[in-house]
Structure 1
Amino acid sequence: MNTMLDILRGRAGRISVEGCRLLKEFSGMHPKNKPGDSVVFISPSGNQFWNGLPPAGKQVQTQLLPEIDRFSELVRVLSRNLPTTAQQGLTDTLEQVRNAVEQSTSTWWKTPDEAVQGFRELADGVVTTLAEYFGATTDTVLAIPDTNALIANPDIEHWQFDGFQQFQIVLTPTVLGELDKLKVNHRNQAVRDKATEVIRRIKEYRRRGILQEGVPIVKDLITLRAIAPEPNMSQTLSWFDPNNNDDRFLATAVEIIRDNLRSTVFLVTSDINMQNKAHMAGIPFREVPPEPVRQWNCTTTG
């Protein structure tokens, strides 16, 4: 499974490859000042003008700029708790990356080869900073199930994930609210019954301790924790809709990742729409563990 650092590193790598291709194959520069000019232009952003991009280069640029913007926004949201110098360094570097692709300002690079080298160094610098702060260095594993995951397999004490024996299941306010609604309002009796069963189990686990601090449900292996605060929708990804429960769930997941940068964090969902949104947001996810096979006693007497 890809960790958040893996996902960010992969996105930065794709931006680096496509940005270098844009600069190598389609870009050019010319000096602002020509010999004999009576007026000399001096700019802090550089003394070279970008040449206009050909149609093929504009196509690469058009595809790359939104990817840079999505990546930059995710990094900005996740790095909110980092030291100010680290935040500013990432912001400045990502701005330079975007400027190199947008090519609407001047530059100090004099040749495409020089630009490629400089761009690659910028992208590598972002990855180095991310690795310093986002690399998983603790044994803590946080699994965040959506509502459908708990309905599909409410037997969470038997959940298993490849590669992890110990993990913490984190319940979000959105999921708990949806469970309460499902147990009463869903048209399907089976769903109402499962939602009721999940809530019953959660209340039973709560007797073992304080859910907000984490309670054991399988000794030394699985703990359960509930998050009380609603997500701050003004400080999350801009495309999240505060009136959409899926987006509120994802916003909470982003906050959990941001507050646990050194831990392995992933969603648990088999909902294809949720998986697509998680992929777009850069959030790792895993499928819901299958329910355990029941062993029935089929012996008879005669």
Structure 2
Amino acid sequence: MSTTVLRKDSTAPTDPAPAGPPAEPRARGGAGAAVGQIALYVLLAVVALAVLLPFIWMLISSVKDDRDVFTVPIQWIPEEFKWENFTTIWTRVPFAAYLGNSFLLSIVITFLQVLTGSFAAYGFAKMRFPGRDLLFTGYIATIAVPWQAYMVPQYVIMQKFGLVNSYTSLILLQAFGAFGVFLMRQFYLTIPDEISEAARLDGLTEYGIWARIVLPLSKPALASLALLTFVNTWNDYMGPFIYLTDNRLWTVQLGLRAFIGQYDAESAMIMTGSVLSLAPVLAVFLLGQRYFVRGIATTGVKG
């Protein structure tokens, strides 16, 4: 008597999954996401163009004649390009000296703010002493005080010390900044305390920990602070306007005033000077862009 053994073949065909209709929602979802992404890019392009429009107008106006700068409607493409404006400006006023003065002030003040800001931030972030948090809160609260509130007392103090009409007054007033301390402290809080503790066990002093360990780890934050301070000092107008009376000490922002006369202003030359004054700031930003973005992204992670 023969028996039949029934086995389930593992290679037996299975029922095919239905095809067609289930793929439609996925295709529709992918198309919708692509449309949304394109719309986002278009919106960002429009916003970027709106932000850059004044700079584009300034760049075009720098190669116009004076009478064509403020025409209504705006003449985006001038009838005649005055490229000689970029050579004439150097002979009309000592523009090279103004640029040199701005460079000197910006570099010195930036170095001092980075030095003092990083040093003070280390104390607030990595050292423990009574009243540390209260002192830090009070120091940071000075950011909310407008400069106009203490502008006159500062000037009186500098006048009493005989520092008016000199770079020393501007350097002393801007060598320290609460914003720089806040920025660096927030970055230092992201550095593990175990690193500092291990360095203390190895015999390093607090100065050594700050200089040999913390600073090398803080390049992105240092670059961010340096870039922000350099741009702020370069674009400062009121400080040099109040404390510098000698034409030989003027910065580039004050130098542009030389093209404003009693009855009219040489608008094209002002635009040309503005373009030239913008070039160093743009170069500094492009050189430190990578560190600047990293510093801003990593600052404030831990409060």
Band the TM-score falls in, shorter-chain normalisation: under 0.3
Greater strand fraction, Structure 1 or Structure 2:
1
Greater helix fraction, Structure 1 or Structure 2:
2
Which structure has more RCO (C-alpha within 8 Å, separation ≥ 6)? 2
**Greater Rg over alpha carbons, structure:** 2
TM-score by length of 1: 0.27
